[in-house]
Structure 1
Amino acid sequence: MRSLPTAAELLKIARDGLLNELLPHLPKEQHYTALMAANALAISMREIQADASQDQAEAALLHELYGSAATSAGIDEFAVRLAHDLREGRFDTRLPAVGQLLLAEVTARLRVSNPKYLKQAGLN
C-alpha cells in the first residue's frame, strides 16, 4: 500500500505554499531566489512523474539502433556508445531515422526540464 501524499504531491504542496503564501511576504530582492526555488520544485515534480516513461523511451531508442544488445547492457553504457558511434560516422546512412529518435529523446527531456520551450517552439 502506498502512503499518501506521493513525493510529487508533496513537492506541489511545497511549491504552492512558497508561491502563494510566502512569496507575497518576502522583500522584492528575495523574489528571484524564491521563484528559482519554485521552478526547481516544479522540475523535480515533472522528473518524478516522467522518470519511468523517459527510461523506457531511451531504452527503446537504443534498442532501435543496437537491437537486443542494448537491452542486456546498461542504458548509460549504450548512450556513451551512441555518442561515439555518431562521431565516428557509423550511423551516417541512417541519419534521418537517428535524428527522429534523438529528437523524440530530447523532447521527452524538455517536457521535464523546460515545457515552456516546447510550447513556444510548437513541439508540445
Structure 2
Amino acid sequence: WLFHSEFGIVNRSLTSLGLDSFDRYPWFANGTAAFAILVTLIVWQSVPFAAITLYSALTTVSPELYESARLDGAGAGRIFRSVTFPILRPIFLLVVSLEVIWTFKAFVQIWVMTRGGPGDATTILPVYV
C-alpha cells in the first residue's frame, strides 16, 4: 500500500512536496524502481539484527584495550584495525553469513510484491529456484 499508484502514501507524500509527476506513478511498472524498492525492503528488514548484534559485541570490548592503544599513540583508524575489528571479526563473519543466507529467503517478498517482474527486473536467484 505504500507504493500503490492511486492512493499510496509515497505518491501522496511526493505530490504534496510539489513533485506532481509522482501523482499516479506506477512504481512496480518500472524495473529499476521495483528493484530499488525491494532492495530497500530487504535492507530495512536485515539492518536491525546486524546493528544490534554488532553493537552488543562492541560493548564487550574492554576499555583498557582502547586506553592502552591510545597511550601507544594509535589513532582512531589504527585502533579500529588493530583492536576493535580483530575482536569483532568472529561476530562480523557470523552476521555476514546469516545475512547472506537470509537474503536467499527473499523469495517471499519478491513474489508477493512483483512476482519477479516487470519482465525479469526483480528476478533473482531464489525466484529462479
Q: TM-score, normalised by structure 1?
A: 0.37
Larger proportion of helix:
1
Between structure 1 and structure 2, the one with the greater Rg is: 2
Q: TM-score, normalised by structure 2?
A: 0.36
